[in-house]
Chains A and B, each alone.
Chain A
């Protein structure tokens, strides 16, 4: 579905990504693993089409991303961010937050309240008027992240990018949100790019793991193979760190 070919990206003089190449197939979950500053969020945003590469190509279903109408392309990608408290305006109610993509793409109409309630049901949240009018500060972290997931899915995107979407949540809520993301991906059959610094979580959710180190992909293979037979020293270190802590049960 998505093919990234020799993509590089710098911010001023700092090289963030160097000759990165990877693919994401239809319905596949690819986990992008790396430490903070490894360039994984930049790569995710490049794939989402929100920033442009300095060189290289990103091809979606045979078409170069730069040739696709930007607004139309952004409609096909849903992003769930690390901190739902920051990614949703504190001035928006639950209804307004989920309706935002519909407003932006001119799709808000009489059917929208129904669509919003359906999206809330999908993420297992209440659909009563009282809940719809709640503000972010009135919701728990888990509830708010579910609202963010509903917002990301309201336009029925082809791909979901989860950018450290569970790392701000406490372990029990993290497990529930991960389970929800997996169920939704499974039901909808969409591709998912799961960005995380935790290779333990990546193993549990993904079909394939790509390890990013200093802006380069150092390992890219099926999840079970990366965990069982890591080739790169950095991957071994990440696995060692993950084994040193309690795994998240999904």
Chain B
């Protein structure tokens, strides 16, 4: 059955709300250098100021402008999430499709590596690496991507194995189509739902992990991060700073994860027949 994905998505009000929210956050992150009133690394302001016209959320213990810091931290979280999701999905799709099409020993090796990675708790690996090696953000992005591709690869492989047997794929092969053509015209477009779902899910996980590592104090300390902001704010429980220092990063992180969650839920609802709303009974 042909599914008009975008029309289906447009009917999902929560999904649309998620997209709007994500776009707003994305625009804020992209425009951070323009809309941030102060340099987020400028610590010349007086420390622990309450919110004012000059400093919308006040300043922190070092004199940084909290509003500017928040905008840049949001930028870091989104960039981290998108980068990890993009690399993870690329690795997962390449390995999944090639494993299904090549098969044999190659397929077995790729899938056993995927099984092994599934058994390893990703967050523990990341905490150990971050704590011992103090890697840069780029290295952390790559490390996280290298241990998160397995679920995408497994899904893509299963779908490709099923697609290989479809009559339209066989028909193209019977016309003399080379494998590259079949991949480009028949397999890859059919896998789009899996990329979309994988991308959103992995981005959500990555954003959460980045915030978690920052909060634990093992993320690159030179980077502005929502987790680092929360972590520092928690050090001053005796000051009345929770509403202007702790709450904004918690709120921003929650909005980001909620928006990705709503999109993920909507995309899953469209492409997974078991979850599809207004289900049409196949004839």
Evaluate whether A48 and B176 lie within 8 angstroms (CB atoms) in the complex, with A81-B167, A91-B190, A137-B2 already known: no
Query: Across the interface, do B167 and A71 meet the contact criterion of CB distance under 8 Å?
Result: no
> Which of B173, B176, B190 is most buried by chain A, counting CB atoms within 10 A of its CB?
B176
Which of B171, B177, B178: most chain A Cβ within 10 A?
A: B171
Chain B residues bordering chain A, tally (CB within 8 A): 18
Q: Are B167 and A83 in contact (CB under 8 A)?
A: yes
- Flag whether A228 is at the interface (Cβ < 8 A): no
Assess whether B174 is in contact with A48, with CB atoms less than 8 Å apart: yes
Chain A nearest Cβ from B131, distance in angstroms: 48
Within the complex, what minimum Cβ distance (angstroms) separates B167 from chain A? 4
**Contact present for B167 and A86 (CB under 8 Å):** yes
Contact B174 A91 (CB under 8 A): no
- Is residue A75 within 8 Å, beta carbon to beta carbon, of the partner chain? yes
Asked if residues B173 and A50 are in contact (CB atoms below 8 Å), the reply is yes
Asked if B174 contacts A86 (CB within 8 A), the reply is: no
For residue B87, give the distance in angstroms from its CB to the closest CB of chain A: 27
Q: Is B175 in the interface zone, CB < 8 Å from A?
A: yes
Count class of interface residues, chain A: 20 to 34
Query: Which of A98-106, A199-207, A215-223 has 4 or more CB atoms under 8 Å from chain B?
Result: A98-106
A87 partner, pick from B1, B168, B176, B190, beta carbons under 8 A:
B168
In the complex, A136 has a CB within 8 A of chain B: yes
**How near does chain A come to B7, taking the closest CB pair, in angstroms?**
13
| CB of B26 within 8 Å of the partner chain | no
B176 touches A88 (CB 8 A): no
Measured between beta carbons, the chain A residues less than 8 angstroms from B166 are: 86
Q: Which of A45, A90, A105, A136 contacts B176 (CB 8 A)?
A: A105
Whether A71 and B176, one on each chain, are in contact in the complex, defined by CB atoms closer than 8 angstroms, is yes
Contact with B along A40-73 (1 / 0, CB 8 A): 0000010010100000000000000000001100
- Chain B residues close to A by CB (< 8 Å): 1-2, 166-168, 171-178, 181, 185-186, 189-190
Q: Residues of A with Cβ closer than 8 Å to B?
A: 45, 48, 50, 70-71, 74-75, 79, 81, 83, 86-91, 100-101, 103-105, 135-137
